[in-house]
Chains A and B, each alone.
Chain A
Amino acid sequence: MKKLYSNKLVIASLVFPGLLVFLFAILAPICLSVYYGFTDYSGMGAANLIGFDNYKALLKDSTFWLALRNSLLLAIGFICIQHPLALIVAAVLDKLQGKAEGFFRCVYFIPNVISVAVIAYLWKFIYNPDFGLLNNILHIFGYQGKVNFLSKEYAIWSVLIVLIWHGFGWGMLIYYTGIKNIDPVLYEAASIDGANKKTTFLRITLPLMKPVIQINVTMAVISALKQMETVYLLTNGGPGNSTQFTANYLYQQAFKAFKYGYGNAIGVVFIIICLLVTVGLNKIFAEKTV
C-alpha cells in the first residue's frame, strides 16, 4: 500500500494540472506585474526600467489612499450593518417552521444569484433622481425635492447599500447554517433555567457562532478590499474619485491613463495588502480562540 501511495509518477500526474493552472494563471501574471511595476511602460511602445519610481509615486497618490479608505469604510459597513442584520434575521428565521422558513430563505437569497451587471444597472435606475424608485418612495412620504444618491457625499454609502442588499442572502445563509448546527439540547437547557429569548441569543447563540462570525468578518474585509465590479458599473469611481477602489483604480490607470506600468505597481501593492490582511486577520482570530 505504502509503495503504491508514494509512487512519484502518480503523484506528479495528480498534482500537475492544479500546479499548471496555478503557475500559468496566478504566479506568472504576478511575476509579470512585478516586472512591469518597475517600468514606465505606457501599454504601447518600449518599457524602460525606472526602479521604485512608481512605488514612490504611489505613496504620494492621494487617490490610492482614498481607495483604501473606501475599502475600510465598506468593510466597516459590512461588519456593522450587514452582518448584525443578517445574524438577527437568521436567528429569527430559525424560529420559524415549515414552508414559511423555506420561502423567506429563498426570497432573501434571490438577489445573490443575479448578475452584478444587472444589479449595478438596476440600482443606477433606482437611485435616479428623476424617476428612480427611491426618490418616488420619498415623494410618497411627502418629500418634494430630488435627492441625488450618487452625489459625492452619498455615493459611497449608496454603493455600500447596493453591496449589502446584494450580499445579504449569502451572509444570512451562512449564519443560518451556523445557528442550525447548534445543538438544540443547549437551548432546552437554557429554557429550563428560565432564560428568556434575549439572554439565550446573547449567551448561547452568539458565543457558539463565534467561529462563523470570524469567517464572515474575514470574508467581509477581503471582499471590501477586492471590490470592483459593482463600482465599475455603478459609478466607475466617481463623482471625482469619491467611490474609487483599488482594483478599479489600477484598471483605469492602465487602460485609460496609459500608465500600464503604474497600474501594475498598484496591482503588486494590492496583492501584498490582501495577503497581509488575510494573514493578519487569521492570526488575530487564531489567538483569540486559543
Chain B
Amino acid sequence: MKRKVVAGMMAALMAAGLLAGCGNTEKPASTSAADKSTSAAATSESSKSESSKSESTASGDAVTLKIFSNLPDRKNGQGLVEQTIIDDYEKENPNVKIEVEALDEEAYKTKFKAYAMDGMPDVVSIWGQPSFLDEVLDAGVLAELDQDAYKDYGFVSGSLDGFMKDGKLYGLPRNTDVAGFYYNEKMFKDNGWSVPETYEDLLALAPKINDAGFVPVAMDGGDGWPMAIYLTDLLERVDGTISEKVNKAVADGDFTDPSFVKATELLKASADAGLFQTGYDSQDYGTAMNLFTNGQAAMFYMGSWEASMALNEDIPAEVRDNIRVFSMPATKDGKGKQTDIAAWNGGGYAVSANSKVKDEAIKFLNYMYQPDKLSKYGWENGVGMSAQDQSAYMTGNETELQKQFLDIVKNSTSTTGTTINDRGPSAFKTSIESEIQNVTNGTTSVDDFLATIGTACK
C-alpha cells in the first residue's frame, strides 16, 4: 500500500516537474530563463496532446478552472475584488468556466491540507509564511512560477520573499497587510475619549469605555491568530527588533528571552484590564467584527484588509463613515516606537503543480496580477494595500481609512514581517494559537505558555 502511494506521488511530482519545464529534474538554469510561453505551451502539449499548440485558448476547447479561495464573502471587500476579476476573465475568455469554492480562513486551511494529500484545485489561496508554506512546498503540490515573468508587475520589494524556496518562486502575494486598531471616531468624540498616545493610555481607557457600556476593543480571540498578531505587535513595542529573536527562538524552541515574557505579560494584563469584550476567547471573527460595526465596541483590532468596512453597505452609515485607524501605540519603557508597525505580506495565490489545465491556471494567475486588476480593483474597493505599486490608481477620493493606512505604511520606521505564529512549523502555529487563549484567560501562566510553545517547535 505504502509503496504504491509513494510511487504514485513520485510519479505525480515528476510529471509536474517535467510539465513545468523545471523543478527537480536535471535541467539546470537554462530553463529558468525560458520565455513566458514555454512552460504554458509545454503543459498544453503533454496534457492534451491532440489539441493545438497555440498558447491562446480563447478559441480552444472548453476549460474549467477550479479556484479554491479563502474569501467566502463574494459581495464585499477582497472577495468582491476576486469575483470581479473572475467575471472579467470569463467574459474575455468565453471558453473558460471558473468554479469557485470559498471557505473561511480556518476551514480553508484545514481543507487545503486535505486537498494537498491528493489533488488540488487549479488556483488556490496560499500564505507566504513558513507555518503554511514549508510543508506544502516540501510536498511539491505547488507549481513553480517563472520569476522573470513578473519583473514588470510592480511587486513591492521583498514581498515575494515569503513565497520563495531555494531561489524558486511558488506563489504571488496579494496584499501588504498591516495590523491596527480600527476605532469609531464618533463614539470617541461623543464620549470625550482621545486616541491613546501610549499603550498605557490605551489600558487606562479600557475602564472608561466599559463604564460607558461599550466594549473597548473587539477581539477575535476565538481564532487565536489575531491575538498572535497582537502579541507580535506588542513584542515589537517592547523589544524594537523582534524579528530575529523570534526566528532564533523558533529554531531553538526556547522562548525564555525577557522580551517574550514582558510582551506576554502585557497581553495578559490587557485582557485582565477588560480591554477585550466578555468572551473574547471564544468568539470568532464575525462576532468580534459585528460588535464593532454595530456600534457596540469602540475599537476593533484587525488587519488592513478590513479597511473595506468603510464602503460596506451592510454596516450602518453612522459607524461606516466614522471608522478610523491607529497603529499599536508604544509602551512607556519599551524600545519600539508606534511607527514600528506589524506588517507583512501574507495571503496570495498559487497554481497547483498537478493541475490538468495548468497553462490556463497560470494564465489566469497572471491576469489577476495585471496591475489594473487586483491592485486597481482592490484599491477602488478600499480593501487596503496590494503587494504591488498602486500609486497609479490614487484618485484622491480614497476613504479616510485608506489614507490613514497609507500614512501608517509611509511613515513606518520598521515592519515586523511575518507574525510570530506563522514563523514556525504548523504544529507550532496550532499550539501557540490555542495556548494564547489559555494564557490570556489565566488557565496557564506566562512561563508555562512560553515553555509549551517552545516544545511545539521541536
Contacts and interface: CB of A to CB of B under 8 A. Distances in A.
Interface of A: 32, 35, 39, 42-47, 124, 127-130, 146-152, 155, 235-242, 252, 255-260
B426 A129 contact: no
Interface residues of B, number: 42
Nearest to A42: B135
Contact of A240 (B6, B139, B287, B434): B434
B438 interface: yes
Contact of A238 (B2, B9, B427, B434): B434
A237 B106 CA distance: 14
A236 B433 CA distance: 13
Given A130-B296, A258-B113, A238 B281 contact: yes
Question: Which applies to chain A's interface (DSSP): helix, strand, loop or mixed?
Answer: loop
Given A128-B283, A130-B278, 13 more contacts: A45-B135, A46-B6, A129-B278, A151-B282, A152-B441, A238-B222, A239-B221, A239-B222, A240-B444, A256-B109, A256-B110, A258-B135, A259-B427
Contacts of B279: 127-129, 146, 148-151
A3 B283 CA distance: 67
B282 A239 contact: yes
A256 B437 contact: no
Contacts of B281: 151-152, 238-240
A239 B110 contact: no
Nearest to B117: A43
Contacts of B106: 236
A128 to B, nearest CB: 7
Interface of B: 1-2, 5-6, 9, 106, 109-111, 113-114, 116-117, 135-136, 138-141, 215, 221-222, 277-279, 281-283, 287, 291, 296, 425-427, 430, 434-435, 437-438, 441, 443-444
Contacts of A237: 434
Pick the 8 closest A-B CB pairs, nearest first: A44-B139, A148-B279, A150-B282, A240-B438, A239-B281, A129-B278, A146-B278, A257-B430
Nearest to A45: B139
Contact of B114 (A127, A235, A255): A255
Given A238-B282, A258-B113, A44 B135 contact: yes
Given A129-B278, A130-B215, A240-B443, A256 B430 contact: yes
B421 to A, nearest CB: 13
Contacts of A256: 109-110, 113, 426, 430
Contacts of B2: 35, 39, 47
A240 B1 CA distance: 37
Contacts of B135: 42-45, 258
Given A44-B138, A47-B2, A235-B282, A151 B441 contact: yes
A94 B354 CA distance: 64
B191 to A, nearest CB: 18
A32 B117 CA distance: 15
Contacts of A255: 110-111, 113-114
A47 B1 CA distance: 11
A235 to B, nearest CB: 6
11 contacts: A128-B287, A147-B278, A148-B282, A237-B434, A239-B282, A240-B443, A255-B111, A255-B114, A256-B110, A257-B426, A258-B113
A258 B443 contact: no
A160 to B, nearest CB: 15
A44 B434 contact: no
A211 B136 CA distance: 53
B113 A240 contact: no
Given A152-B441, A240-B434, A257-B430, A130 B277 contact: yes
Contacts of A236: 106, 222
A71 B182 CA distance: 41
B403 to A, nearest CB: 31
Contacts of A260: 117
A204 B235 CA distance: 68
A260 B141 CA distance: 17
Given A130-B296, A255-B114, A256-B430, A238 B437 contact: yes
A43 to B, nearest CB: 5
A44 B430 contact: no
Contacts of A152: 281, 437-438, 441, 443
Contacts of B117: 43-44, 260
Nearest to B111: A255
B47 to A, nearest CB: 22
Given A44-B135, A130-B296, A241 B426 contact: no
Contacts of A148: 278-279, 282
Contacts of B110: 255-256
A184 B109 CA distance: 59
B1 A44 contact: no
Contacts of A127: 279
A129 B277 contact: yes
Contacts of B291: 130
B302 to A, nearest CB: 18
A49 to B, nearest CB: 8
A240 B94 CA distance: 49
Contact of A239 (B1, B277, B438): B438
A44 B287 contact: no
B427 A257 contact: yes
A142 B416 CA distance: 47
B6 A47 contact: yes
A155 B443 CA distance: 13
A187 to B, nearest CB: 49
Nearest to B444: A240
Given A240-B435, A241-B434, A258-B427, A45 B138 contact: yes
